[in-house]
Structure 1
Amino acid sequence: MEQAQEPNTAADDGPLDSYSETVMRVAETVTPHVAAIEMTGNHRNGRFRMGAGSAVLFTEDGYLLTNSHVVAGTHQGHAAFADGSRTDLELVGADPLSDLAVVHGRAPKVAPAQFGDAETLRVGQLVIAVGNPLGLAGSVTAGVVSGLGRAIPVWSSGNRRVIEDVIQTDAALNAGSSGGALADTHGRIVGINTAVAGAGLGLAVPINTTTRRIISALLKDGRVRRAYLGVVSTPFRLNASAVIRTGQRDGLRVVEVLAGSPADRGGLRAGDVILTAGSRPVSNAESLQKLLFADAIGQPLPIRVLRDGQEVDIVAVPDEMAGNG
């Protein structure tokens, strides 16, 4: 009778150990940069809590990046870092369309986080989220990138808006995770987590060329003047015949056109695949967002779409995003 073989625990544990070591290393790198923040308002009986979440330190002189919905309606608050240090905060500026905001406190003892580039992310890639869900400071969750270039409609100040180009991940996020860091395996911040869409769906605002421009505008002016189209979209891979006909491999499929929006008035329809805007190829939400800053407000924007197998040219005139900032 053959003796049962002992399981090869070293071989079995190898992949788990590698995964665990990566998550632990990133958590150790990123956690010091992520603060728990509480935003407050004034009342005749004193200050009271209006919002709470997380924020990521990104400059040596105390500027932190968080979500716009975390600071909505507030101008002051305080932050607590993992090392126990605390600082009062003042709101610098917010951009509801990207769900980003900048707050400022005194220069901290910890170094700022290192930003990465979300454009390098791929579906299936490991990412690590660090935040303060439900008041539990320094919480770490890990998952993979589930989708890229998502666009989600949200309600803000009574208006329906669209947050473009978000990262979808299966890393667990809860309300207090909003404003926290989404990091790659090198510990670089590639996204700012947002729970604005609700529990059970992990989303993050990407750190890329467009959001860096937004952050710069918030630091300089405290607001971002944005042009607004009003489409909910998702990246779309064209079939072989469309690639031959259009010369493009990718476009941006329109999932929804918001009623009364510039896109609606211009004739965009759900199901259209946007090929170009302003004569530039459009393959994801960021490539469209790059065209929708202040200089595009009120200016005709030619858009070419693929509709029912045919190329159709339309013109939309973007509005300024109302109540932005």
Structure 2
Amino acid sequence: MLPDEELGEEKGHACHEVSPQTTPEVEMLDAYSRAVIAVVDAVGPAVVSLFTSGNPSHGGVEQQGAGSGFILAPDGYLLTNSHVVGKSKQLRTVFTSGQKTTAAVVGRDPDTDLAVLRAEATALPYATLGDSSQLRVGQLVIAMGNPLGFESTVSTGVISALGRAFRSQNGRLIENVIQHTAPLNPGNSGGPLLDSRGRVIGINTAIITAAQGIGFAIPANTAKWVVSHLIRHGRVKRSYLGFHARDRKLDRRLARLHRLEQDTAAEIMMVDPQGPASKAGLKEGDLVVAIDENPLFSVDDLQRSLAEHKPGIAVRLMFIRRLELLNVMIEPVEAN
């Protein structure tokens, strides 16, 4: 018998090491991997584990993590979910560096399931809130968190829908929510949802396990104005009109007919039968396009305007019903 090398030479075949072929698909996967790795390297240090205050379990083992959060500013401000914080006044925070500290609750907003904490630390790595109004269905997203205390757990997916709504733990409808396919695990709540450039475009807030891992996130644009109110007041002071809405694309012909500046509006999804909107005659399907002569481009614009408006002082809503442009004066009440 001839050795394999000699057998190969005798048959006229040159022996060589087999290596994977470089194909467009492989190159594309490499680019995808590089994008995810770059985001993880850049944002990972800003993601933290949160533990509710309390005694360690028997044997001195630290309790299971309540959830995740991420650093908003180098002076220790953190953003997470309101339901992660619960009724706690203070939480324990663990950074990816291993540093541990306490974090006081600055404020909570159960209506958007957001909360701001202040950690006793400075010069921290932080993440940047992006512009969620530019999101598109099918866009790559990266979810990060520290589920069960396992730091920097990463999953990827795409945006599967925009403008979703679901009820928070206090029963209120959370509007304008991002739906995505990045798998989430228990404890991911409060972690960032990122775009391919590492900008936070949402805060992961819920998962429907029976629906094969559908994830939801509060948009970054909602978080921006909620955070400012929580830091200033400890809560969001908002007026209540008595309806829930979602973003809706306006037909171009309809926008031109009424000479509107925008191509989007807030579509009324549900009207509280006991609320101001019902008394003013607003109905499901009405498209709200302006408040006090200011154009509304999204539900965030409406919520931001109401958060800055005093209850009891009437506002003028401009809305479209079928093809007709209408106006109504409505007196908001203080949200409970």
TM-score (norm 1): 0.85
Q: Secondary structure at the match of 2:117?
A: strand
**Residue identity matched to 1:228:** Y
**Residue identity matched to 2:95:** F
**Residue identity matched to 2:44:** T
Q: Secondary structure at the match of 2:305?
A: coil
User: Taking structure 1 as reference, are residues 294 and 16 closer, same or farther at Cα in structure 2, changes over 3 Å only?
Assistant: same
Shift of 1:85: 1.6
Show the counterpart of 1:126: 140
Matched, 1:146 2:160: yes
**Residue identity matched to 2:289:** L
Shift of 1:305: 2.1
Q: Distance between the aligned counterparts of 2:326 and 2:113, measured in 1? A: 32
Alignment of 1:1-325 (within 5 A): 8-40=21-53, 52-107=66-121, 110-156=124-170, 160-195=171-206, 198-199=208-209, 200-208=213-221, 211-248=223-260, 249-322=263-336
Q: Secondary structure at the match of 2:83?
A: helix
Q: CA RMSD in A?
A: 2.6
- The answer to whether the 8 Å contact 2:65/2:148 transfers is no
**Residue identity matched to 1:137:** E
Structure with the larger strand share: 1
Shift of 1:320: 1.7
Superimposed CA distance per residue, residues 303-323 of structure 1 (whole angstroms, 9 cap, x where no aligned partner): 22222332232232222221x
Q: Distance between the aligned counterparts of 1:312 and 1:50, measured in 2? A: 54
Identity %, equivalent residues: 39
Superimposed CA distance per residue, residues 212-233 of structure 1 (whole angstroms, 9 cap, x where no aligned partner): 2321222232222112224332
Shift of 1:19: 0.8
Q: Secondary structure at the match of 2:187?
A: helix
**Residue identity matched to 1:132:** N
User: Taking structure 1 as reference, are residues 276 and 151 closer, same or farther at Cα in structure 2, changes over 3 Å only?
Assistant: farther
User: Taking structure 1 as reference, are residues 276 and 109 closer, same or farther at Cα in structure 2, changes over 3 Å only?
Assistant: closer
**Residue identity matched to 1:69:** H
The size of the alignment, in residue pairs, is 307
Q: Secondary structure at the match of 1:291?
A: helix
Shift of 1:52: 0.9
Unpaired runs of 5+ residues, structure 1, are 1-5, 43-47
Flag the structure with larger Rg.
Answer: 2
**Residue identity matched to 1:198:** I
- The answer to whether the 8 Å contact 2:65/2:187 transfers is no
Q: Secondary structure at the match of 2:49?
A: strand
